[in-house]
Amino acid sequence: MPREADLARLIARVAGGDRLALRSLYEATAPKLLGILHRILRDRDAAEDALQEVFVSVWQRADRYDPQAGPPLTWLGAITRHKAIDRVRQEKAARLTPVEEGFLERLADTGDGEDDLARRDALARCLDTVEADRRDCLVLAYCEGWSREELAARHDRPVNTIKTWLRRGLLSLRGCLEAA
């Protein structure tokens, strides 16, 4: 592994558009970064694909590296971890079936009485009044335990937008359920 100063110089050259420097940086750091990706993704092929994306990001963001902010390998590692986490979130979102398919049945308890079933029916009717993407967020957050960050990644929206959707969706549901 080259010294930190050598890596910092390579990143500076990459920031200047030097493709040979990018190749040298790749050769010097790819094994370590691939190890990070493989440890998080647990799939060699996915890790190799993500590694290519990491170096595309490095090429695009090399001018943002500040040697005073930290060592080059730490900066590269952060980009790598973020890329891996993004992939995990995308894979999780892709594996889920649409939330409309049977989520209320999964919440059912065999001991539910008629009142509980009537409340569940009212909830289903009220959820139908909420816009599809907001309904998706409500169900995934409150029935599946998704975080706001995961919802933001799924819907390609800022976290604050997701917070607003959840708040307004809950208020809408409350109003509808109180009227039912």
Considering the domain architecture, whether residues 70 and 125 belong to the same structural domain is answered as no
Domain boundary among 95, 129, 146: 95
Which three-class secondary structure string do you get for 96-162? CCCCCCCHHHHHCCCCCCHHHHHHHHHHHHHHCCCCHHHHHHHHHHHHCCCCHHHHHHHHCCCHHHH
Question: 84-143 pLDDT, tens per residue?
Answer: 888 887 776 655 545 545 555 555 444 445 666 677 778 888 888 888 888 888 888 887
Considering the domain architecture, whether residues 120 and 89 belong to the same structural domain is answered as no
Instruction: Please give the single-letter amino acid code of residue 21.
Output: A
pTM here is: 0.54
Domain boundary among 40, 71, 95: 95
Considering the domain architecture, whether residues 88 and 10 belong to the same structural domain is answered as yes
Considering the domain architecture, whether residues 91 and 128 belong to the same structural domain is answered as no
Instruction: Please give the single-letter amino acid code of residue 157.
Output: R
- Domain that includes residue 142, residue range: 103-179
Cβ atoms of residues 17 and 43 within 8 Å: no
